[in-house]
Amino acid sequence: MNALKKYLGIIWLLLAPAVIYFLIDRAIVHIDPAGKKDINNPVIWVIIIGIFTPIAIGLMIFGWYALKNEYSHLPQSSSEVE
């Protein structure tokens, strides 16, 4: 199981930039000042990409920790967390 946890880390590392690429690509396709739908609104895309970028970076860090075997043993008490 620990090997699986470790190597899946690579997937999480790659998934994060893929999500951001997908969002930026969709924003370029759908932003349309003449459009009336939410997905045509540039402000919404700025908010969403702005909030998703740190989350995606979080997913990359999660993947990095997984690759470094940080999740092979989960803490049993708070003293292990700190």
Partner 1 sequence: MNETISPKTIRSVIAASSVGTMIEWYDFYIFGMLAKTISTQFFPEGNATAALLSTLAIFAAGFIVRPFGALLFGRLGDLVGRKYTFLLTLVLMGGSTFLIGLVPGYKSIGIAAPLLVLLLRLIQGLALGGEYGGAATYVAEHAPVGKRGYYTSWIQTTATLGLFVALAVIMLVKLNMADTSFNEEWGGWRYPFWISIVLVAISVYIRLKMQESPLFAKLKMEGGTSSNPLKESFSHKGNFKMVLLALFGAVMGQGVIWYTGQFYAQSFLETKCSIEFEQSRTIMLWAIAFATPFFLAFGWLSDKIGRKWIMMAGMLMGILTYRPIFNTFLKDSNIPNLLSDNPGAKSAENLELKTDSLVEQHALVTLKYQSAKWVLDDGTKFTELRTDTTRQGFDGFSSSKSPDKKPSFTNKHLSTSTYWKFVGLVFLLILYVTMVYGPIASFLVELFPTKIRYTSMSLPYHIGNGVFGGLVPFIGLLLTTTYPTDPLVGLWYPIGVAALCFVIGTIYLTNKIDKNVMD
| Shortest CB 14 distance to partner 1, Å | 13
What is the separation of C-alpha 70 from the centre of its chain, rounded to a whole number of angstroms? 18
Q: Where are the alpha helices (DSSP H) in 35-77?
A: 42-67
The binding site for partner 1 (CB under 8 A) comprises 1, 4-5, 8, 12, 15, 26, 30, 37-39, 41, 43-44, 47-48, 50-52, 55, 58-59, 61-62, 65-66, 70-71, 74-82
| Shortest CB 52 distance to partner 1, Å | 7
The set of residues, in sequence order, having a beta carbon less than 8 Å from that of 6 and lying 6+ positions away, is 66, 67, 69, 72
Rank residues 10 and 47 by Cβ distance to partner 1 and give the closer one: 47
Rank residues 10 and 66 by Cβ distance to partner 1 and give the closer one: 66
